[in-house]
Amino acid sequence: MRDLKLPDERHPEKAHRPDNAQPKKPDWIRVRAPTSEGYKQTRDILRAGKLVTVCEEAGCPNVGECWSQGHATMMIMGDICTRGCTFCNVATGKPNPLNPFEPAKVAQAVAQLGLKHVVITSVDRDDLEDGGAEHFAMTIRAIRRHAPAATIEILTPDFLKCAPSALETVVAAKPDVFNHNLETVPGLYPTVRPGARYFASLRLLQRVKELDPAMFTKSGIMVGLGEDRQGVGQVMDDMRAADVDFLTIGQYLQPTPKHHRVDRFVTPDEFKAYEAAAYGKGFLMVSATPLTRSSYHAGDDFAALRTARMVKLGRT
- pTM of the predicted protein model: 0.85
At 287-303, the pLDDT tens digits run 999 988 876 667 788 88
Task: Note the pLDDT tens digit of each residue in 2-11.
Answer: 445 554 455 5
**Residues 15-44: tens digit of each pLDDT:** 444 555 678 888 877 655 555 565 666 666
Q: Are 205 and 236 in contact (CB under 8 A)?
A: no
Per-residue pLDDT at 312: 85
Out of 74-78, 92-96, 294-298, pick the least confident.
294-298
- Go through the domains of the chain in sequence order and give each one's CATH number: 37-312 (3.20.20.70)
Point out the least confidently predicted range of 152-156, 201-205, 310-314.
310-314
Confidence of residue 283 (pLDDT cuts 50, 70, 90): very high
pLDDT in tens, 206-232: 999 999 999 999 999 999 999 999 999
CA gap 59, 17 in Å, rounded: 26
